[in-house]
Amino acid sequence: MIEVIGLARLTDKQGLLSVAFYDCVTGINPSILTNGWVREDGIFVRLNMDDMRRCLEGQRCLCRESKKRILDMVTLARSFDCLTAARCKDAVPAFCRETAYKPVESAVDGVLKETWSSIGQDAQRFKPCQACVTKIQERENTHCRAIWRRLPEFFDLDGTHDDGGLRA
């Protein structure tokens, strides 16, 4: 993805930058990201310092959003008014906790990936009703769309990065 960042800038395809930076913080080993690597053709590839800053600040924002998503999903589970309340009273919170807290390799891993891809298996195990599963899926889709729209902001690609007042 580091090459994609350079290519996007060369061709003035700013829309690729958000995806490339996201992939850098979720799909590249941090050691390789910081140290770079030598391609097959012998060219050394590495992020410049400004792009490394973008990755680190973007990762911080994605971690914050991931935490908000998890808390929201667990809170959502407690707020359902389900028609089959007896069955879903315990099943929905357990289902949300299990799905929201699946082990990941990094704090941002899965923030936009198919978090609920195993929803059918989890739903069978916890047995929430289909109406509750649908509400959970809708909320997760809303979270993912909101995060996706904010990627340029998270990676400071639109000049409105929320740095918490830390950048001079």
**Mean pLDDT value across the chain:** 75
What number is the average pLDDT over the span 116-126?
A: 58
The confidence band for 156, taking pLDDT boundaries of 50, 70 and 90, is very high
Q: pTM of the full predicted structure?
A: 0.72
What pLDDT is attached to residue 120?
Answer: 56
What number is the average pLDDT over the span 129-152?
A: 83
| pLDDT tens-digit series, residues 72-97 | 776 766 666 666 666 676 776 676 66
**What is the residue-wise DSSP string for the chain?**
-HHHHHHHHHTT-THHHHHHHHHHHHHS-HHHHHH-EE-TTS-EE---HHHHHHHHHHHHHHHHHHHHHHHHHHHHHHH---TTHHHHHHHHHHHHHHHHT---SSTTTTSSS-TTTTHHHHHHHH---HHHHHHHHHHHHHHHHHHHHHHHHHTTSSS----TT---
What pLDDT is attached to residue 72?
Answer: 77
